[in-house]
Amino acid sequence: MKRMREIIATLLGLTMALSSWAAPAETNYCYNCDFTSSKGALDGWNVDYDWTRNKQQMGNGKNASVLPEFKGRKNVLKIAVPSGFESKVETPLIPYEAGDMYQCTFDIYVEKVVVNTLFQGYNLKPGIPPGENVKLQDLRRMYKAEYVATKGPMWKTVTVGIPHAQVSATAYGHLKKIRYITVLMYVPGATYFEDGNFYVSNVRITKLPGKVKVTQ
């Protein structure tokens, strides 16, 4: 009996050791993904688009807030969508190297509108030096991935990616110009004439293994 207890204790010890050697969790490249930064709930997130001078986006920052809880989720990003307004939000900038593949998953709840979500690729505007404090207004868009449209007042998990596993030489030429990527969520303002909202939680951006394949 004593021998049996020793064997069981040894097996339990091995099990615990193996558990501690398990592969680490994938890196989430989305800074402040859970809206809990000590610098502010929206720190790093792009919600202010007054610099675009687009009338449908002026004051966009006032439409963004973080709720402690909503429909069973904690720390939820809320984007209000006034009638005829192009409400939008982009994740913090992520440095990008040509050929890398990324995937973003998140939960979204939509009221009265349709939300389009996609990866975007950017490069520095002429005359803007690279650095740690680059902002969205310092960049020009070089690449748009395919978007996913979401609607309906229920939580849904959405996945978008950049780029496809195989791309043409022309598309790869555009990818080579990218220095930063974001995930953009927006509502086309000209298509909706009643107020709405959308809510976002559990944002996760991961790098996929391998490199994109270029077709000839």
Please state, for a pLDDT cut of 90, what percent of the chain lies above it: 81
pLDDT tens track for 14-44: 444 334 344 456 899 999 999 999 999 999 9
Average pLDDT over residues 116-136: 94
Residue 212: count of CB within 10 angstroms of its CB:
18
pLDDT for the residue numbered 20: 38
Average pLDDT over residues 171-177: 94
Token duo for residue 167: 């791309």
Q: What is the pTM of this model?
A: 0.87
In 3D space, the residue among 155, 49, 173 whose CA is nearest the CA of residue 111 turns out to be: 155
pLDDT for the residue numbered 5: 52
In CATH, the architecture of 25-215 is Sandwich (2.60)
pLDDT for the residue numbered 193: 81
Average pLDDT over residues 150-161: 97
Query: What are the boundaries of each domain within the chain?
Result: 25-215
pLDDT for the residue numbered 185: 98
Q: Return the higher-pLDDT residue of 133 and 5.
A: 133
Beta bridge partners of 200: 77, 108
Query: CA torsion, points 28, 34, 36, 40, in degrees to nearest 10?
Result: 90
Q: Quick one: three-class SS letters along 130-147?
A: CCCCCCHHHEEEEEECCC
Q: What is the number of residues in the chain?
A: 216
Token duo for residue 1: 């009996």
